[in-house]
Structure 1
Amino acid sequence: MTDPEVQADSAPTPQRFEYERTDEYSRYFLYSRSEVLSVLRTLIQKGALITVHFDHGKSFLLTSMLAFTEEGNDFILDIGANREMNQKALLADKLFLTAVVDKVKIQFSIDGLSAAEHLGRPAMRGSLPDAVLRLQRREFFRLSTPIANPVIVSAVIRLPDGSAENVDLPLFDISGGGVGLMVSQETAAKLEKGDILTECRIALPEEGLVVANLAVRNKFDVTTRSGAQFVRTGCEFVDIPPSRLNRVRRYITRVERERKARLSGLG
C-alpha cells in the first residue's frame, strides 16, 4: 500500500496539466499502442511513484502501477493509504496521472478507475490511455532560485478600479514554462487565476533582462521553517519569444551546472 496520503484540500485551486495543452506540447505526445505500452511498462519496472489527480486537480493521491491485466487492455494501480481518498478517486470521472522516470515527465489521463484485486490485495483498475505525454526534463525542470539574494520580477498589477500597482516580487523558482513567485498575502489577494501580468521584467544574473507576459495559474500558502508566511504564485510564460526563452534556459543550465560543481567540490 502506497504511503503517504495527501488531504483533498492540499491544492486549493484547479490545476491545468501539460497533457491538456496539446497545441503547446504536441511533439511530445505518443499515440501508438506499442509506444504507450512501452512507457507504462517502464513505470511498472521502475516502481515509479505516480500522482493521481482528480476533482479538477484539487485532490490527489500517491500510488504506483503494479501490472497489466491478462487481456492487456487495462492496468492495475496500488491503492493509497487513505480509504476516503481512494473512494473519491474511484468516483471521479476524469483523472490525470503524472510521474517522473529518469528525469522525464510522464503524463496521461483516464476516464475512471474501478475497484480491483491484485495478488489477493485491494487495488484499482484503469483502461490503457489513448495517448501519453512524454516530456523531456529540460521543458519542465524547475530551478529553485537563491532566497538570500533573490532574482526579482518587476510587474504591474491592474486593479479592479482601473488603477495600477508596481510591485517587485522575488522569484521562488523558474523553468522554461514559467516562474514561481514569492508573494505577500496582501499582494496575492490582488491576483486571480487567469490574470495576465504584462511586460514583466526579470533580471537574470549574467544573462540580462528578460521581458515577458505572465499568466497566473495557481496560488499556494507556504510557511518557511522560520515561520514566515507567503503565497507561492505559479505563473506561466505567455507567447514568450524563442530568443528570450533561450536566455531563461541558459540561466537555468548555468546555475544548475555551478551548483553541481560546488557539490562535487565539497565531495
Structure 2
Amino acid sequence: MADHSDPSAKFELLQSDDFAQYLLRAPREIAFVLRQLAAHRCMITAYIDDSPRFMMSSVLSVSEDDHQLVLDVSRDETLNASVAVARQLLCVTQLEKVKIQFSISQFHFDRSGKHPALIAQAPQTLLRLQRREYYRLTAPVSHSLICRIQAPEDKQMIDARVVDISGGGVAVLVPPKGLDFSADKQYRNCRLDLPEFGPVTATLRVRNIFRITNPNGTEALRAGCQFEELPTAMANAIQRYILRVERDRKARDMG
C-alpha cells in the first residue's frame, strides 16, 4: 500500500503557444501514459480537493477499455476517510523525468479484494511536460542566475530569477510587477550575466506560463522563454557555461 512521503509540487498550465504539446485528450493516449506509470511503479502525490493534504498512491492497473484505473490507497484510514468524501484528487507524478498531472473526480473505494483499492474513471485530460528539445540544466543554487528584461513601456530593466537554462532558452520566475508576461510575447535586449563567461544579450519569446504550487502552499509563476536571434558566439558561451556547471556538479557529487 502507498505510504506518506515528500509531496510533489502542483502545476497548472495558464498559457501556451501550443497547448497540444502538453495536454493529452485522446483516451488511448491517456491510458498508455497511465499504464506506463503502473509499469514503472511511479509514486503519485494525490492532493485532496484544493487543500494541501495529500495521499501517496500509485496506479495499479488500467481497464482494457481504457475507461477505468485502479489506484493504491493509504495505510492511514483517517486519510482514506477524507479521500472517500473528496470531490476531486489532483494527481502529480513523474515518469522518466517527465512531469505528469491529472485529476480524477469520479472514484470509490473497493474493499472486496485482499487489499483495498481506489477505483476511478480515467481522466479526460492529462498534462505532460515532455523532455525538452535541448539539453536542460536546473540553475545551480551556488549562485543566483538573473535575467534582466526590458519592460516595453518604460524601458526599465527588471530582474527575473532564472530557474532553468539551455541552449534553446530559459525559464524564469515571473516578477511580481513591472512585466506583463503572456504567451508569444517578445522581449528584446534581455541580458544574462553568466559567471566566468560574461554577459549574453538576446531576444526572448514567451512560450508558456505555469503556476507552480509548492507543498508548503507558496505559489510562483514560471515562464518558459525561447531564445531568438541569438548570435553563435553567445550560444556557444551558454553551452560552455552549462557544461562547466554540470562538470562542477558531478565533481561535488563524487566528493
Quick check: TM above 0.5?
yes
Distance in 2 between the 1:85 and 1:139 partners?
Answer: 40
Matched, 1:68 2:55: no
Matched, 1:179 2:179: no
Kept in 1, the 8 Å contact 2:70–2:119? The answer is yes
| Cα 1:52–1:216 shift into 2, 3 Å | closer
| Cα 1:148–1:33 shift into 2, 3 Å | closer
Secondary structure of 1:137's partner?
Answer: coil
Kept in 1, the 8 Å contact 2:147–2:193? The answer is no
Greater CA drift, 24-33 or 118-127: 24-33
Amino acid at match of 1:243: E
| Cα 1:250–1:5 shift into 2, 3 Å | farther
**C-alpha displacement at 1:89, in angstroms?**
3.3
Kept in 2, the 8 Å contact 1:6–1:61? The answer is no
Structure 2 unaligned residues grouped into runs of 5+: none
Secondary structure of 1:130's partner?
Answer: coil
Deviations 1:129-186 (A, max 9, x none): 23333431227997432334321245799xxxxxxx9875654x226673348xxxxx
The aligned counterpart of 1:161 is none
Matched, 1:36 2:30: yes
Structure 1 unaligned residues grouped into runs of 5+: 158-164, 182-187, 223-230
Kept in 2, the 8 Å contact 1:5–1:82? The answer is no
Deviations 1:12-71 (A, max 9, x none): xxx6523x7576431343333332222211111110112223433744332111123577
Distance in 1 between the 2:150 and 2:52 partners?
Answer: 29
Tell me how many residue pairs correspond in the alignment.
235
The aligned counterpart of 1:243 is 228
**C-alpha displacement at 1:126, in angstroms?**
0.9
Q: Identical aligned pairs, as a percentage?
A: 23
Matched, 1:209 2:194: no
Distance in 1 between the 2:237 and 2:78 partners?
Answer: 44
Higher helix share: 1
Root mean square deviation of aligned Cα: 4.9
The aligned counterpart of 2:2 is 2
The aligned counterpart of 2:74 is 80
Kept in 1, the 8 Å contact 2:211–2:219? The answer is no
TM-score scaled by structure 2? 0.63
Amino acid at match of 1:203: L
Secondary structure of 1:80's partner?
Answer: coil
Distance in 2 between the 1:37 and 1:249 partners?
Answer: 39
Kept in 2, the 8 Å contact 1:204–1:251? The answer is no
Matched, 1:127 2:121: yes
Kept in 2, the 8 Å contact 1:180–1:233? The answer is yes
Deviations 1:232-255 (A, max 9, x none): 854325xx5651799999888665
Matches within 5 A, 1:157-236: 171=162, 173-174=163-164, 178-180=171-173, 191=176, 196=180, 202-205=191-194, 206=197, 208-209=200-201, 217=211, 233-236=220-223
| Cα 1:107–1:17 shift into 2, 3 Å | same
Kept in 1, the 8 Å contact 2:170–2:226? The answer is no
Amino acid at match of 2:55: L
Distance in 1 between the 2:52 and 2:191 partners?
Answer: 30
**C-alpha displacement at 1:127, in angstroms?**
0.7
**C-alpha displacement at 1:76, in angstroms?**
1.1
Kept in 2, the 8 Å contact 1:196–1:216? The answer is no
Matched, 1:147 2:132: no
Amino acid at match of 2:12: F
Secondary structure of 1:92's partner?
Answer: coil
Out of 113, 126, 144, the residue aligned to residue 107 of structure 2 is: 113
Distance in 1 between the 2:92 and 2:116 partners?
Answer: 22
